[in-house]
């Protein structure tokens, strides 16, 4: 039965009845700036050029430039579809998924897991995990700040800003060497007030690809102990960096061995290719089980007014894979294939540039690790890459190695050479 008010809109406007004024409440809302990273893909999609290359957003592509859904994921999906109901997960998410996820970060036989000392909840991928932590930090350590490396993933700044946690920075990337500015990093760690909160990239630093060596991690951990700092690890690339998940979690292992009570944000976006499913985990290592229970309950309180409980299907995919030895083996194989292809493209890009006779050093391409390479290109050079060569990347010179294929690597090398040869 259609409902009719009996009063036409025109009549209401004319009589002034029911409408305050003709102006919008939102008339003064400014158009927001485009997200620097996601905006790149939008621009790429809009470009009609047949030569266009997208080395912007960090999503894996195969050698044909196509997105990949892992076989282990397809199999898990087949097992799940049509079988399970869609009831609400608990506020803390899937217990199975979280358990398996903690094993990846803390070790298969971790005493911390056995002793139930880890407060952990399912989160909306890495972003959601960082945001839960940032909100938690604000609520329970309201006087604290967060030290963020320079540079970092742009959204880190947005996350802690929206959580209203003041930000400081610490030195990280060394533009001269295109490597780690270890001396300045250590100075910053020493000069920060005791008990400061630091954001660390566990492996495959985004956007630079520059990671501390094992020795350097040990020194950082030691200094953190001296200063009583809190380490929060964003681990978005475990397995994806070296091909070996255990190796990629080395920094965390070092800190745990040194007795730090750390926090970790984990994501399955890249290493399981679950990008759009939004699957991740936030964990905080506590002194004992009682504290872990308390902390977890408080994390849930933050999740409740944000989304009540996290999405189920992605979590089911993860727990199906990690809970089945065969599927887990397949996953480890597939992760290594992805990591190896990227390492292969690093080698190819560097070789191409050297063959072109570039006057610059491109060692950093193979020294750096993970999805991204900090090319060293300036914003102006990046603009030329886009305008003249239809190559899309973020203006900080970050190249997503996953977007490089055997088909486009020489075109890319050529373009880089063109814009940088007279630098």
Q: Which of residues 190-209 bind another protein (CB under 8 A)?
A: 195, 197
Q: Judging by beta carbons within 10 Å of its beta carbon (0-12, 13-18, 19+), is residue 239 exposed, middle or buried? A: buried
Residues 247-306 within binding reach of another protein (CB under 8 A) = 258-261, 269, 273-278, 284, 286-287, 291, 293-295, 297-298, 300-301, 304-306
Site string for another protein, 303-322 (x = CB under 8 A): -xxxxxxxxxxx--------
Q: How far is the CB of 388 from another protein (least distance, A)?
A: 28
How do beta strands 146-150 and 197-201 pair? parallel
Backbone angles phi, psi at 271, to 5 degrees: -75, -20
Q: Is 234 a catalytic residue?
A: yes
> Which parts of 112-151 interact with another protein (CB under 8 A)?
124-125, 127-128, 131, 140-141
Q: Which two tokens stand for residue 179?
A: 């490597």
**Prior bond of 207 cis (ω within 30°):** yes
Per CB under 8 A, the segment of 22-30, 98-106, 177-185, 329-337 that binds another protein is 22-30
Q: Is 153 a catalytic residue?
A: yes
Output 179 or 314, the one with its CB closest to another protein. 314
Question: Considering only residues 332-391, where is the footprint of another protein by CB under 8 A?
Answer: none
Query: Catalytic: which of 138, 178, 250, 270?
Result: 270
DSSP-derived letter for residue 28 is T
Please give the Cα distance from 380 to 144 (Å, whole number): 37
Q: Which residues, at least 6 apart from 21, have a Cβ–Cβ distance to it below 8 Å?
A: none
Nearest CA to 273 out of 402, 97, 404, 392 is that of 402
Quick check: 296 and 121 in contact, CB under 8 A? Answer: yes
Does the annotation mark 270 as catalytic?
A: yes
Q: Which is catalytic among the residues 181, 188, 234, 248?
A: 234
Cα–Cα distance, 44 to 39 (Å, whole number): 9
Shortest separation between residue 319's beta carbon and another protein, angstroms: 14
Rounded CA gap, 417 and 399, in Å? Answer: 14
**Closest distance between another protein and the C-beta of residue 210, in Å?**
23
**Considering only residues 35-94, where is the footprint of another protein by CB under 8 A?**
35, 38, 57, 59, 67-69, 73, 77-78, 81-82, 85-91
Among 178, 201, 205, 229, binds another protein (CB under 8 A): 229
Number of CB atoms found within 10 A of residue 61's CB: 20
Residue closer to another protein, measured from CB, 164 or 177: 164
**One of 159, 165, 220, 404 touching another protein (CB under 8 A):** 159
Contact in structure between 281 and 319 (CB atoms under 8 Å): no
Dmax (CA) for the chain in angstroms is 79
Of 51, 63, 71, 162, the residue at the interface with another protein (CB under 8 A) is 162
Selecting among 135, 153, 181, 331, the annotated active-site residue is 153
Q: Which residues are catalytic?
A: 153, 234, 270
């Amino acid at each position: 039965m259609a409902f009719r008010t009996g009063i036409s809109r025109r009549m209401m406007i004319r009589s002034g009845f029911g409408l305050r004024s003709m102006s919008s409440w939102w008339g003064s809302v400014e158009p927001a700036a485009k997200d620097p990273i996601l905006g790149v893909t939008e621009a790429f999609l809009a470009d009609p050029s047949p030569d266009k290359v997208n080395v912007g957003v960090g999503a894996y592509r195969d050698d044909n430039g196509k997105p990949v859904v892992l076989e282990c994921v397809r199999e898990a999906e087949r097992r799940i579809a049509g079988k399970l109901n869609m009831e609400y997960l608990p506020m803390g998410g899937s217990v199975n998924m979280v358990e398996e996820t903690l094993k990846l970060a803390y070790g298969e036989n971790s005493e911390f897991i056995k002793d139930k000392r880890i407060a952990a909840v399912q989160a909306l991928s890495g972003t959601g995990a960082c945001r839960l932590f940032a909100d938690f930090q604000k609520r329970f350590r309201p006087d604290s700040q967060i030290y963020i490396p320079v540079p970092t993933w742009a959204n880190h700044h947005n996350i802690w800003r929206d959580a209203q946690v003041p930000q400081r920075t610490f030195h990280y990337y060394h533009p001269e060497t295109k490597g780690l500015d270890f001396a300045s990093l250590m100075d910053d760690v020493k000069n920060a007030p005791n008990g400061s909160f630091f954001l660390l990239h566990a492996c495959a630093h985004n956007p630079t690809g520059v990671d501390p060596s094992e020795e350097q991690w040990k020194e950082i951990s030691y200094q953190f102990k001296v200063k009583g700092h809190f380490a929060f690890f964003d681990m978005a690339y475990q397995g994806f960096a070296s091909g070996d998940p255990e190796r990629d979690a080395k920094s965390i292992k070092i800190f745990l061995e040194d007795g730090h009570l750390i926090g970790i944000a984990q994501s399955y976006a890249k290493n399981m290719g679950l990008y759009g499913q939004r699957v991740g985990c936030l964990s905080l290592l506590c002194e004992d089980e009682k504290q872990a229970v308390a902390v977890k309950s408080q994390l849930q309180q933050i999740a409740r007014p944000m989304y009540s409980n996290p999405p189920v299907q992605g979590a089911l995919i993860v727990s199906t894979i990690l809970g089945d030895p065969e599927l887990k083996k397949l996953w480890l194989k597939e992760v290594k294939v992805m990591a190896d292809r990227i390492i292969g493209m690093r080698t190819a890009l560097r070789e191409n540039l050297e063959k072109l006779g570039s006057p610059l050093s491109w060692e950093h391409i193979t020294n750096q690790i993970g999805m991204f390479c900090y090319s060293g290109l300036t914003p102006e050079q990046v603009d030329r890459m886009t305008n003249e060569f239809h190559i899309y990347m973020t203006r900080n010179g970050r190249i997503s190695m996953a977007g490089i294929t055997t088909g486009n690597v020489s075109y890319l090398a050529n373009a880089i050479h063109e814009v940088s040869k007279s630098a």
